[in-house]
Amino acid sequence: MKVKCPRCQTMIDIDERRYQPDSIAEEKCTLCDTVIQFHVPSEESQLVKQLVVDVETMKAQIEQMREELDTLRSQRQETKQSMAQKPMAEPVSYDVTHQSPNYRPTPRPMQRNAPPAPPVRKAPVSAEPQNIVTKTLYAGLPQDDLFTDAQPQANNKSFYKLELHGDNGGEFEFISNATTINYARSSTTDFIECACNIMDNSNDNFSAVVTTKRGKIERQGLAWHIVQNAEVILK
């Protein structure tokens, strides 16, 4: 922390860890030796301050992701318009009116009492169900109901786990751990209600987010679109 000398206005760097939290401490000015009294913040206030910084950083990252998504949508729209304006090739016509005068079709011999074709036997259909490959991805916060940054490995920005059943759809749930809970306490609207419906919000100081019903997703280009929110309770 920084403290200003009331006499010479010099800013002094103070290592607050050397003092008892939530106490009044003294330090000499390095320039004029004036004794400066200052308040040492408590551990709770330091955690709140750091949490505010983390939330602001996350909001800046979310805003950057929104801008990148808008750019991708604009590029996709321009590509569609360019393809729609491209003229189609004219069909090729062939002149079949001028044939050789000596052309005579060769008559085909008639087949009498031809044996009937053998019946086509259909291959037996297996009654066993086909195995569907399940794939797990991890994503950050959805933007406009889209998970755009899903990847196979989780990182410190992962808030949702996606379980894909095949290539076109699957389910998702909120990742409940210490990091995601700290962010979720600061704003359930930004971190939970963006993809989930909170069914029980009676506990404001919750320590876990329990997914009671997974949400539904389907593929939309390179992203995954939320077609049904998940349902969670706060414990």
Q: What's the pLDDT at 122?
A: 64
pLDDT value for 228: 96
| 3-state secondary structure labels for all residues of 49-106 | HHHHHHHHHHHHHHHHHHHHHHHHHHHHHHHHHHHHHCCCCCCCCCCCCCCCCCCCCC
Task: Please give the helix or strand (H or E) that residue 111 lies within, else none.
Answer: none
In this predicted model, what pLDDT tens digit does every residue of 10-19 receive, in sequence order? 988 888 788 8
Distances in Å between the Cα of 157 and the Cα atoms of 36, 110, 148, 170, 183 are: 41, 77, 13, 21, 11
CB-based contacts of 146, cutoff 8 Å, min separation 6 = 69, 220, 223, 224, 225, 226
Tens of pLDDT, residue by residue over 113-168, are 666 777 766 655 545 545 556 899 999 999 999 999 999 999 888 999 999 988 88
**Among candidates 46, 56, 55, 43, which has minimal Cα distance to 179?**
55
Is 43 in contact with 20 (CB distance < 8 Å)?
A: no
- pTM, whole model, 2 decimals? 0.45
Decide: residue 117, CB within 10 A, 0-12 exposed, 13-18 middle, 19+ buried.
exposed
Question: Angle at which helices 43-85 and 178-186 pack, to 10 degrees?
Answer: 90
Encoded amino acid at 132, one letter? I
pLDDT at 63 > cutoff 80 = yes
pLDDT of residue 132: 59
What tens digit of pLDDT does each residue of 171-228 get? 999 999 999 999 999 999 999 999 999 998 767 789 999 999 999 999 999 899 999 9
**Domain locations along the chain:** 2-41, 133-234
Percent of the chain with pLDDT over 70: 81
Distance CA 211, CA 215 (A): 9
